[in-house]
Structure 1
């Protein structure tokens, strides 16, 4: 029976780690301070407002995670590795930057998609290019918000200035990764 190729070398994350512990300490400290400074009524108002925000965010986050899960099912892993993997070179960064331009949605969509790509073997440089182009260019934001308010000329000039940023960010990450790899020459 033929052996299956090894999965991505991405280490598994634990559910509770140092960043989580630090965040919990900050939240408990802030909550204690509000309780001490403003009293229980204000503390309860803040907790209720935060619960409302959480209730609003949860369906959006679940939808983003569902989209990311479907991407992992619909796109073959070897295709992702070939297009935007460690050996994809400048082509992978350009593909990822182009994908970031057209991906719609907000952070609830892009970050689960980026995490899915990393889990499927995408290079960190390509994922940085994806997120950077989504942040700086974003076709859906340009069509809905920028063009009606600022006009096509402004959007065109902004895109001309912003597109190299995503590619540059990906190239910088690629160079740093190559310097940090064992066996690479400085």
Structure 2
């Protein structure tokens, strides 16, 4: 994030990924209209409008958390502990944070984006998201232990533990060789 005294860079509203998603939406709408008619299409739009209203506060909160993190955490501290040159230590820290941090994708992805913006390396950011996805102790306690028991959850977590670090190492290596990719 830019500081308050520097102008913000212009943001594109429609990039390639937005255009792909828009094309998929329009294609889906076309086929729903052909099969179900206008009534079916309006029904889906109405249901999705309610879904949008329900998730909008979560998306807003996640984006605000990401923005606050960018302003509150010193860039030097982030770069030192989980920067592109933090090595195995940075990957381990990012893996631990991802494993213990509660929240859904509306919180985690803006946080990962904020960490990248203030100096985290690509490897630690990938380790953070991968750890949250694979290990997620909050989810394990709430959902997995009641269904599978503690033994299964411990085995799954231990088996998953090296994967975020491996993914972080791989992402870091790929970022160095992929043209136009992130360099940290």
TM-score > 0.5 by shorter chain = yes
C-alpha deviation, 1:180, in angstroms: 4.2
Q: Runs of 4+ in structure 1 displaced over 3 angstroms?
A: 178-182
TM-score by length of 2: 0.87
Pair 1:34 & 2:32 matched: yes
C-alpha deviation, 1:79, in angstroms: 0.8
From 18, 21, 26, give the equivalent of 1:20. 18
The count of aligned residue pairs is 174
Residues 23 and 86 from structure 1, CA distance in 2 versus in 1: closer, same or farther, beyond 3 angstroms? same
Describe the SS at the equivalent of 1:14: coil
What are structure 1's unaligned runs of at least 5 residues?
Answer: 1-6
C-alpha deviation, 1:32, in angstroms: 1.8
Describe the SS at the equivalent of 1:43: helix
Describe the SS at the equivalent of 1:36: helix
What are structure 2's unaligned runs of at least 5 residues?
Answer: 1-5
TM-score by length of 1: 0.87
Describe the SS at the equivalent of 1:122: coil
C-alpha deviation, 1:77, in angstroms: 1.2
CA-based RMSD = 2.1
The aligned residue for residue 150 of structure 1 is: 148
The aligned residue for residue 118 of structure 1 is: 116
Supply the distance in 1 between the matched residues of 2:173 and 2:24 (Cα, whole angstroms): 35
Aligned 1:7-86 pairs, distance under 5 A: 14-86=12-84
